[in-house]
Structure 1
Amino acid sequence: MYGLIAKMRAMCGERDALAALLLEATTGMPGCLSYVIAQDPADADALWVTEVWVDAAHHQASLELPAIREAIAQAKPLIAGFEIRIETEPLGGSGL
């Protein structure tokens, strides 16, 4: 499996809009076992994204899906940057 954990910073005041866009756009992606969007309770502009995929190839392929490409285009103006990006190799767990 392939995993990714990222801390994303929204433009000031845009976290809720960015979270809503990500939640809507990331359903039904082939090979995606888990995609979790979480608010950072200590940072009003930060989101944490935790992904688990069948493999890295499925993650990469998802970036070419028309719905994902459109979501990325819509999200760009709402994103101030990425602070942390960690790749992992999930071993398993609840729901996987």
Structure 2
Amino acid sequence: MTFANVGTLGTVPGKREELVQILTRRSSELCEMGCLLYEVGTNEDSPDTVFVMELWETAEAHRASLQLDSVRAAIAEARPLLSGEMGGFSFDVAGSPLRVELS
């Protein structure tokens, strides 16, 4: 079943764009692992927050991606930019009127 992960990452003041640059680096490995969508965004009402939406073939594919050397390196690089404020939620996708279900 398709898996979605939506979250917020709080940044140290003034470090938001640096985090966005790390999170938006091209990664063919994520596609190979089953990532269908990985969108990173900002909102001027929240100047120290980065928003992330992920859509994966399965929850297991998402968990497995966290073991990739490139993902671990990006996490290590991003860690000093984070304030520790994080939020979000995950869910199994029931369907969408915009695409054929991948099941």
TM-score above 0.5, yes or no: yes
Aligned residue in 2 for 1:39: 42
Aligned residue in 2 for 1:63: 66
Alignment-mate amino acid for residue 10 of structure 2: R
What's the offset of the Cα at 1:93?
A: 5.5
CA contact (8 A) 1:6 1:82 kept: no
Distance 2:85 2:97 in 1: 26
Unaligned 5+ residue runs, structure 1?
A: none
Q: How many percent of aligned residue pairs carry the same amino acid?
A: 27
What's the offset of the Cα at 1:94?
A: 4.3
What's the offset of the Cα at 1:8?
A: 0.8
Alignment-mate amino acid for residue 5 of structure 2: L
> Taking structure 1 as reference, are residues 14 and 5 closer, same or farther at Cα in structure 2, changes over 3 Å only?
same
TM-score by length of 1: 0.89
Alignment-mate amino acid for residue 5 of structure 1: V
Aligned residue in 1 for 2:19: 18
Deviates most, 58-67 or 40-49: 40-49
What's the offset of the Cα at 1:85?
A: 1.6
Unaligned 5+ residue runs, structure 2?
A: none
Q: CA RMSD in A?
A: 1.7
Distance 1:88 1:5 in 2: 9
After the TM superposition, which segments of 4 or more aligned residues of structure 1 sit over 4 Å from their partners?
Answer: 93-96
TM-score by length of 2: 0.84
Distance 2:99 2:35 in 1: 12
Distance 1:14 1:53 in 2: 27
1:92 to 93, 96, 100: 96
CA contact (8 A) 1:6 1:85 kept: yes
Alignment-mate amino acid for residue 85 of structure 1: G
